[in-house]
Chain A
Amino acid sequence: MRVIVRKRVVVPRRFALAVRIGSVVLALLAVAVIFYAYGVNPLDVYRSIFFNAFGTKVGLTETIVRMMPLLLVSAGLALVFKTGFWNIGAEGQLLVGAMAAYVVARTFPDASSIALIPSMFLVGFAAGAAWGIPPAVLKAKLNVNDVISTLMLYYVIYWVFQHLIHGPWKARERVGQLTYGGFAHTEIISKNAWLPVIGETRIHWPTLILSILAAVGVYVFLNYTTAGYEMKVVGDNPEAARAAGISYLRTVTLAMIISGGLAGLAGVGEFAGIQHRFTPEFLSGYGFTGIITAWLGGVNPIGLLIANFLFGGLLVGGQYIMIDYKLPIGVVDMFNGAVLFFVLAGDFLLRYRIQLRR
């Protein structure tokens, strides 16, 4: 028995879709084994995830709450991946965006919502973009590895953040006559800076609108603008791009401004829409999960919506199974990992044809 691997010349669209779906199904099967090892029936678990995520009103709205930041992050990542630049640090760019929103909200606590909310999003976008630019410049000028620099900048900002909430930004609490710094969290921002939500849900609709605009926007940008054309050329053949006079620095920097900026918006939404203050547990991994959904969805608004909606549901359903089946929190992360693993493996299938011969 011998395995033969050959490069595919053409990838039929339907086959690509089938491989994507197949990857997720295989991930479900692989994780099922783990559930089984924990002594629970995988079918029950999946049914529970599905029901809790999509089968109840609360579940459905919570799924959308999770979908919004994922959609913002993954739309930007899908675009930047097209240029062949690997931004693995969206989590950091998201965090910078949230921190910028905090600074705006704390600096102008008495400003009106009409002024505050757009400013937070603008400054959050700028901050996320600013955090995304250095890796692009370093890669273009000094050929610094993009995976390493984007990921390391996440750690830089993460520890800056930890320092701030344990020190300068820590809330002062008052008990009777005493004022003291208690737990490591910041003050809650003024209500003017809170994002409006739909009815009784936690869906902060400004972010919902922004996230859908982002998913459509990156598609239009890539396919209908000259800057998008430059990104496709740079991603597919950097040498031909250079010969055609397309600047690698400018193209990749612009892609990182968009990608970092959209992650920053996700951070603003998460902060001003849900949490309203920083705690050490502010981050929930949207920046990393977004890598998977960007890969699954591609620069395609429908694909991104479906992938992020399903992943949002998985995050919601995952919380319930922790409680219902007393499974550790790591199981959901493992599921994410399994999906990424199978999606990447599936991508190999798309690019190569594998045959078995005897």
Chain B
Amino acid sequence: MASEATAVASEPRETDLLVKMVSIVKRFPGVLANDHVNFELRPGEVHALLGENGAGKTTLMNILYGIYYPDGGEIYVRGRRVEIRSPRDAMSLGIGMVHQHFMLVDRHTVAENIALGYAESLLNPLKEIKERLREFAEKYGLKVDPDAYIWQLSAGEQQRVEIIKALYHGADILILDEPTSVLTPQETRELFKIIKRMRDEGKGIIFITHKLDEVFEVADRVTVMRRGKVVGTLKASETTKEELARMMVGREVLFRLEKERVSRGKPVLEVENLHALNDRGLPAVRGVSFRVHEGEIFGIAGVAGNGQRELAEVVVGLRKATAGRVLIDGVDVTNKSPRFIASRGVAHIPEERLRHGIVPNLSVAENLILKDYYKEPYRRGLLLDHSKVIEDAERLINKFDIVTPSPLTPAKLLSGGNIQRLICARELHKEPRLIVAAHPTYGLDVGATEYIRRILLEQRKRGAAVLLISEDLEEVLQLSDRVGVMFNGEIVGIVRPEEASIEEIGLMMAGARRLAREEMAS
């Protein structure tokens, strides 16, 4: 560590810098995504890039990785001026990137995805890849089935493949775009170990994140961006969480959400001995039972791919249960249609909001009526009452603070946070009985995350039951009244956050510990 400290302390010469980006400008229609941004990466450092969504940090890194071409500015890699026109250029310069949105071919297997552009042997590259995959699994604990198809994998598993892909071609400049969001605390710690090992080998790691704690855990320096500009670059050891948050958001941020005591009412959602299969036809939910009451947030914690997604889909009617029952307010809704279940007062904030949550080319207003268009007051005979649609859209846009140029703007042009607000507005304005929220803050910035969490707490206060599925353990613990931990399709424990330690929950998530029925919090 001592040598590291001196490296950070003494200003390195220009040619020692791994990456130097000078005055980078990038415009998108109507947005200045990067406004004369300067950024540098030294060898042997972990440099966190911190900022809200839409702050321009991913854009900046996409420029470095050759996905976007800048409208202005210069890039130097190892002191040499370079033009990076494609990811291939970036790779040949030793730059690797793990994206937030996965760049994998769905219909190919893990090994085949890695073979695309990475394999060294022409003949039978899969053999070579499988061997090296085993190697990675042992060395880094990045376990993944090389023969599984990408579409069968959960978000967390897909991200593991992405990390392996970047490691595979031996990059010494590694860009990680919010890599920990789908890992358990143990896995995160493992990743941080890998990151530190690579740093000690002299590699440079750019770590895009909005989790302030991670900055202090893993980064040497941090560059904060806001609205396309760099607010400042600081040493992690010389700053505080509060200061970074202020730089990021431009105002003070509440870290502790006020969670009022709400007395719990009668059960709204009852899940009894539920079984369901995943997309591969294998058992994914295996005998799950729990209840969620009025005024209660029931969190589901677990590593991606342990049946949480399937559980949520069965509850909202998007997946068939093979056994067991789902009751809403005492009414059996097992294997009923999504529309019927929604009509019982079930709101759904889906995982992968772009894929399941919105219709990208339709307007904000049209997206807001997605669940109601077939009912009064929007439906007039066979016709759709456009003036009513727009009128209500304007009301919801104001009420839920959706930032959009107009109700007629295509939904795809909104930022991630505003798309989530749109979904919340659509799902929650009718005061649902049950809210199924899957990864509601995944990929959102601090401001939007705070907003979504506060909305869930408000709904709880109103008397709604909330089933919260999230891989962000801190979020689950902070919001939930009770937490069920899922492992391998089963709930291995139900605990109260104030009574359980993060360590204990982590062990349950990893399948190393299991509570007896009588130990579970009810």
Contacts and interface: CB of A to CB of B under 8 A. Distances in A.
A255 B199 CA distance: 58
A236 B382 CA distance: 21
Contacts of A225: 382-384
Interface residues of A, number: 25
Contacts of A30: none
Interface of A: 2, 4, 6, 9-10, 224-230, 232-233, 236-237, 239-245, 355, 357
Contact of B338 (A228, A229, A243): A243
B337 A245 contact: yes
B28 interface: yes
12 contacts: A4-B86, A226-B384, A232-B359, A233-B362, A233-B370, A240-B357, A243-B338, A243-B350, A244-B338, A245-B338, A245-B340, A357-B85
B356 A229 contact: no
B286 interface: no
Contacts of A227: 382
Contact of A244 (B69, B85, B339, B379): B339
Nearest to B340: A245
Contacts of B318: 242-243
Contacts of B29: 9-10
B366 interface: yes
B384 A224 contact: yes
B366 A240 contact: no
A200 to B, nearest CB: 41
Contacts of A9: 28-29, 412-413
A232 B362 contact: yes
Contact of A229 (B28, B83, B361, B384): B384
A240 B358 CA distance: 6
**Interface size of B as a range:** 35 or more
A240 B366 CA distance: 13
Nearest to A357: B85
B384 A244 contact: no
A225 B359 CA distance: 17
A229 B383 contact: no
Contact of B356 (A232, A236, A243): A243
Contacts of B342: 245
A226 B360 contact: no
Contacts of B366: 229, 232
B28 A237 contact: no
Given A10-B413, A239-B355, 6 more contacts: A9-B28, A232-B359, A242-B318, A243-B338, A243-B348, A357-B69
B379 A226 contact: yes
Contacts of B316: 243
Contacts of B80: none
A4 B379 CA distance: 46
Nearest to B361: A236
Contacts of A244: 338-339, 370-371
Interface string B307-339: 000000000101000000000000000000111
A22 to B, nearest CB: 21
B338 A242 contact: yes
B339 A245 contact: yes
A236 B362 contact: yes
Given A224-B384, A225-B382, A226-B379, A233 B350 contact: no
B163 to A, nearest CB: 25
A10 B316 CA distance: 34
A240 B370 contact: yes
Nearest to A6: B68
A249 B336 CA distance: 17
A347 to B, nearest CB: 15
Contact of A237 (B337, B358, B374, B382): B358
Contacts of A245: 337-340, 342, 371
B251 interface: no
A224 to B, nearest CB: 5
Given A224-B383, A237-B358, A355-B69, A229 B85 contact: no
Contacts of A237: 355, 358-360
Contacts of A241: 359
Nearest to B68: A6
Nearest to B426: A244
B28 A226 contact: no
Contact of B69 (A4, A226, A232, A236): A4
B392 to A, nearest CB: 15
A240 B373 contact: no
B386 interface: yes
Contacts of B362: 232-233, 236
Contacts of A233: 359, 362, 370
